[in-house]
């Protein structure tokens, strides 16, 4: 019997729902570290960008000297999973961003911030995600972004009933508009860990 390696993954811990991601990844058997500085990023094989406030994470990433190291890691093929604000940070293009807002980029998509409205407009829905099989994914949307355009190389993993895209994958990058870590859904994180194992292996 072949034992797959225990993946070493980080959660960018500048702002947002860091603890929820750490818990899910740990439950799935990963070796998890919080990442705030370039030397901590260098110790992991994959990175999660959590939900939170994308403009705040952007500012803190620059203040902590993390923007360029994360961009370099993405360019070098490090698997990265972004949820909600994390999806915004992975997008090459954003609409409705605040003045001067930047992203790490790498994902050939255009994302609209707060596409569904404010906190009071948060909602939950069951989504069919063929790559994850059955049952449907129970998705929690909290001030969520939306993928409004995706390049040819982007795989659309899930959409709402009206066709609006809310989960994508491109190479080693994975992004969801919603928060699996909040709703008790682990399969997206498991998919991400498989991507990390494939790269390390």
Q: Which residues are identified as catalytic?
A: 84, 179, 181
Which among 24, 50, 12, 3 is positioned nearest to 193, based on CA atoms?
24
> How many other CB atoms are there within 10 angstroms of residue 196's CB atom?
24
Rounded distance between C-alpha atoms, residue 12 and residue 180, angstroms: 17
- DSSP for 112-177 reads ETTTT-SGGG-EEEEE--GGG-SS-EEEEESS--EEEEE-TT-EEEEE-TT--EEEEEETTEEEES
């Amino acid at each position: 019997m072949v034992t797959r390696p225990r993946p070493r993954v980080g959660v960018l811990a500048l702002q947002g729902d860091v603890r929820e991601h750490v818990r899910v990844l740990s439950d799935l058997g990963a070796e998890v570290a919080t990442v705030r500085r370039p030397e901590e990023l260098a110790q992991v094989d994959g990175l999660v960008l959590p939900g939170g406030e994308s403009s705040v994470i952007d500012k803190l990433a620059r203040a902590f000297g993390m923007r360029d190291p994360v961009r370099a890691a993405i360019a070098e093929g490090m698997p990265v999973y972004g949820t909600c604000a994390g999806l915004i940070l992975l997008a090459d293009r954003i609409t409705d961003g605040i003045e001067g807002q930047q992203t790490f980029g790498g994902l050939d998509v255009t994302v609209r911030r707060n596409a569904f409205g404010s906190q009071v407009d948060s909602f939950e829905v069951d989504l069919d995600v063929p790559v994850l099989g059955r049952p449907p994914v129970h998705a929690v949307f909290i001030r969520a972004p939306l993928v409004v355009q995706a390049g040819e190389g982007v795989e659309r993993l899930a959409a709402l009933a009206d066709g609006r895209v809310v989960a994508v994958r491109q190479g080693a990058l994975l992004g969801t508009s919603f928060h699996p870590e909040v709703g008790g859904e682990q399969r997206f994180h498991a998919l991400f860990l498989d991507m990390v194992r494939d790269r390390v292996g």
